[in-house]
C-alpha cells in the first residue's frame, strides 16, 4: 500500500472518529438534553455538531476525489479535525469559568497530580494521528497531475 493511500485511510479514520465521537458524546443528557443548560447553549451545541458533521463530509470528499491539486485537498481535509480538537487544549485558559468535565462531580484519573480528562486524551490521539497521516502524505513520492 502506498504512503498516500495509507495517509488517506488514516486521515479518514480521524475525520470519521471526530464527527461520530462528537455527536455520540454530545447527543445525550449531559449536553444537548441537559436540563441545566440554557436553551441557547443547547442550540449552539447542535449547530456545532451540524457544522462539524458537514465539514467532515466535505473533508472526506476532498481527501478521496481526483484533484489537480491534491496537496491542497489533503491539507484542508487534515485541518478539519485538527482545528476542531485544538481548542480542547486552551479554552479553559481563554474563557474563565469553563470546564473540561461534562459533569461537575465526574471522577477523573490523576497521574502525577494532573487530572486526566478523557476528552483531552481523545483530542490528543486525534491530533497525533492527523499529524501522522499528513506527514505520511507529504513524505510520499508525488505523482504529476496534468490538467487537460
The per-residue pLDDT for range 57-95, each reduced to its tens digit, is 999 999 999 999 999 999 999 999 999 999 999 999 999
* pLDDT on residue 101: 87
Strand residues in 1-148 grouped as ranges (E): 110-111, 114-115
Going by pLDDT thresholds of 50, 70 and 90, the confidence category of residue 147 is very low
> Any idea which of 58-62, 96-100, 142-146 has the lowest mean pLDDT?
142-146
Angle between helices 39-64 and 70-85 (to 10 degrees): 150
In sequence order, which residues have a C-beta less than 8 Å from that of residue 84 and are 6 or more positions away?
18, 22, 52
* 94-105 exposure pattern, b = at least 16 Cβ within 10 A, e = fewer: eeeeeebebeee
Sequence-ordered alpha helix ranges (H) in 35-86:
39-64, 70-85
* pLDDT on residue 143: 61
Going by pLDDT thresholds of 50, 70 and 90, the confidence category of residue 135 is very high
Q: Is the pTM of this model over 0.85?
A: yes
Average pLDDT value over all residues in the chain: 92
Q: Is 132 helix (H, G, I), strand (E, B) or coil?
A: helix
Q: Is the pLDDT of residue 144 over 90?
A: no
The residues spanned by each domain of the chain are 3-96+107-139
Cell of 125: 490521539
Amino acid at each position: 500500500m502506498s504512503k498516500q493511500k495509507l495517509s488517506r485511510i488514516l486521515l479518514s479514520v480521524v475525520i470519521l472518529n471526530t464527527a461520530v465521537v462528537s455527536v455520540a458524546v454530545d447527543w445525550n443528557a449531559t449536553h444537548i438534553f441537559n436540563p441545566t443548560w440554557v436553551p441557547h447553549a443547547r442550540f449552539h451545541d447542535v449547530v456545532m455538531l451540524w457544522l462539524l458533521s458537514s465539514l467532515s463530509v466535505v473533508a472526506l470528499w476532498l481527501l478521496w476525489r481526483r484533484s489537480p491539486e491534491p496537496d491542497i485537498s489533503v491539507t484542508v481535509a487534515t485541518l478539519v479535525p485538527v482545528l476542531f480538537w485544538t481548542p480542547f487544549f486552551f479554552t479553559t485558559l481563554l474563557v474563565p469559568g469553563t470546564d473540561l468535565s461534562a459533569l461537575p462531580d465526574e471522577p477523573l484519573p490523576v497521574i502525577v497530580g494532573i487530572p486526566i480528562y478523557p476528552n483531552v486524551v481523545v483530542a490528543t490521539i486525534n491530533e497525533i494521528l492527523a499529524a501522522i497521516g499528513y506527514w505520511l502524505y507529504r513524505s510520499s513520492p508525488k505523482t504529476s497531475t496534468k490538467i487537460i
